[in-house]
Amino acid sequence: MKINFDKYADGLVPAIIQDAETQQVLMLGFMNPDAWQKTQQTGTVTFYSRSKERLWTKGEESGNFLELISAEVDCDQDSLLLKVRPHGPVCHQGTDTCWGEVNESHYGFLSQLEDVIAMRLEEGDTENSYVARLFSKGINKVAQKVGEEAVELVIEAKDDDQEAFLNEGADLMFHYLLLLQTKGYRLEDIVQTLRSRH
């Protein structure tokens, strides 16, 4: 992998640090050739600290190291994307990321939907919320609804009505997310189980 350290006057290239598992961006640092070489040799991310004017291994004082998983250079060969496994909080302020975000997996709209389901369950408004109403009937009713939706999806899979198939798939997914939370789990628990089998 060729990196153009000569492109900028200070001989440094930006290194974007991303969690290899959650895909969250954790921090931004800078590397010179010596920092990059040490990172490769040790498997632990080392930067060039502009304030200290020396090589600086992330975690050398806190113990919160960044274990290098993979590295890529961008199309102009003047910036790096380092995928890491963080050992502890990344930011010196004690947060998971330097932007104060929680470093957890996010599944786009499905995660948003999980949050809405959790909010409806917490509010418990059985009069105005379908989620709260179904949940109030107990685990057997929620599980039964998942079974019904699964059967309907299988029936639609045999036909050529794509819209009906997708709608039934959405219904099944929605009720499955509700069942997970009824049992005290979330989608991340299923992903971890699948990952353990991979």
CATH number at residue 157: 1.10.287.1080
117 & 192 share domain: yes
Q: Which residues of 122-154 are buried (b: 16+ CB within 10 A; e: fewer)?
A: eeeeeeebebbebbeeeeeebeebbeebeebbe
Q: Is residue 24 part of a domain?
A: yes
Q: Would residue 96 count as lying in a domain?
A: no
| pLDDT tens sequence across 138-179 | 999 999 999 999 999 999 999 999 999 999 999 999 999 999
- Verify that 76 and 117 share a domain, yes or no: no
Q: β-strand 66-73 against 80-86: which pairing, if any?
A: antiparallel
Query: Are both 74 and 141 inside the same structural domain?
Result: no
Judgement on whether residues 115 and 149 belong to the same structural domain of the protein: yes
Q: Name the domain boundary from 52, 86, 120.
A: 86
Domain endpoint, select from 86, 121, 149? 86
In a domain, 1, yes or no: no
Residue 195 has pLDDT above 90, yes or no: no
Q: Could you tell me the residue range of the domain that residue 122 belongs to?
A: 109-196
The structure's pTM equals 0.71
Q: Is the same domain home to 36 and 80? A: yes
Number of domains making up the chain: 2
Examine residue 32 and state whether it is found in any structural domain, yes or no.
yes
Which pLDDT tens digit goes with each residue over 17-69?
999 989 999 999 999 999 999 999 999 999 999 999 999 999 998 999 999 99
Find the helix packing angle between 139-157 and 162-182, rounded to 10°. Answer: 160
Domain boundary among 55, 86, 117: 86
- Do 136 and 80 fall within a single domain? no
- Tell me the pLDDT band of 9, cut-offs 50, 70 and 90: confident
Does some domain include residue 2? no
Strands 80-86, 13-19: pairing is parallel
113 and 154 inside one domain: yes
Of 3-7, 13-17, 189-193, which one has max mean pLDDT?
A: 13-17
CATH of the domain at 39: 3.10.20.810
Are 46 and 120 in a shared domain? no
